[in-house]
Amino acid sequence: MAYSDNDRFPRFGKAARVVHFTHLISFFVLFFTGMSLYFNFLSPLNLLFGGASSAKLIHRIAACIFFFGPILGICLNPKGFFLVIREITHWRKEDFQFIVTFLHKFFGQPHEVAPQGYLNGGQKLNVYLLGFGFLGLSITGFVLWFPQYVPISFALWCYPLHSLLAPCLTAAVLGHGYLGSFHPGSGASWEAIWGGTLSRAFAEHHHARWAQEVDSQLGRTRR
């Protein structure tokens, strides 16, 4: 197959993209309903959800979507999941180099990007952050919902943990969201999560090693 500058790199399957956005939406629903429960001065936010009672209900429904969405995604595409697991458990020198240059990227400073695989170092770190945040919030959240089924001493720890994890995950999501959607250099990653593919330019820039792998798999050789 011929190499072209317009080549697309298949990045996210349909399931992953659907799950990502339901997850995203559920996160924001959780965020806003949670905020109103978290800070009393934000109580008026409850009105958006029909009062505190329905805010609580919506928070719980959203929590279910938030938790079971990704699980469903894994079930639909276990291969992709294991790919990610393999990626995040294999760290190369370049990954660390990427992380070192991360702040440059974030603040739009010139930097060099070491050739990255399917997930670059930053993304690997992000998977950890979001993954543990996801699990931690889900577990503590469900305990707060059903405290009667766990030892009380454990339940009590879930309150501060949930309170602490929620803003931390929000911070990670903000960063992730900014980089993926609003960072001037991220137009392509938006395409990936929305359309499923990456442009050559972006792929080669951010995931040079992966881009090569894909090219070789697809037999796209440069003339």
Partner 1 sequence: MAQVAKLIDVTKCTACRGCQVACKQWNELPVEAPPKEMAFTGTLQSHPDLAPNTFTIIQFFEEKDDTNTVKYRFRKTGCMHCTDAACILVCEKKALTKLENGIVYRDKDKCIGCGYCAQNCPFQVPKVNPKTEKATKCTLCGDRIANKMKPACVTTCITGALDFGPRDEMLKKAKKRVETLQKQGVANANIYGEKELGGTNVIYVLADKPEAYGLPADPQIPLTATLWQQYGKPIGAAVFCASFATTLFAFFLNRKKDLAPKLHHHEGGKSHGV
Considering the complex, state which of residue 20 and residue 111 has its C-beta at the smaller distance from partner 1: 111
> CA 45, 178, 84, 89: dihedral to nearest 10 degrees?
-100
Tell me if 163 contacts partner 1 by CB under 8 A: yes
Q: How far is the CB of 77 from partner 1 (least distance, A)?
A: 27
Query: Which string of b and e fits 173-200 if b means at least 16 CB within 10 Å?
Result: bebbbebbeebeebebbebbbeebebbb
Binder among 123, 126, 140, 170 for partner 1 (CB under 8 A):
170
Measured CA distances, 51 to 33, 60, 76, 138, 193 (Å): 10, 14, 36, 23, 34
Tell me if 178 contacts partner 1 by CB under 8 A: yes
User: What is the pattern of x (binds partner 1, CB under 8 A) and - over residues 88-117?
Assistant: -------------x---xxxxxxxxxxx--
In one-letter notation, the amino acid at residue 198 is: L
Q: How far is the CB of 114 from partner 1 (least distance, A)?
A: 6
Q: How far is the CB of 208 from partner 1 (least distance, A)?
A: 6
Q: Can you tell me whether residue 162 is helix, strand or coil?
A: helix
Q: How far is the CB of 164 from partner 1 (least distance, A)?
A: 5
Residues 112-151 that bind partner 1 (CB under 8 A): 112-115, 144, 147
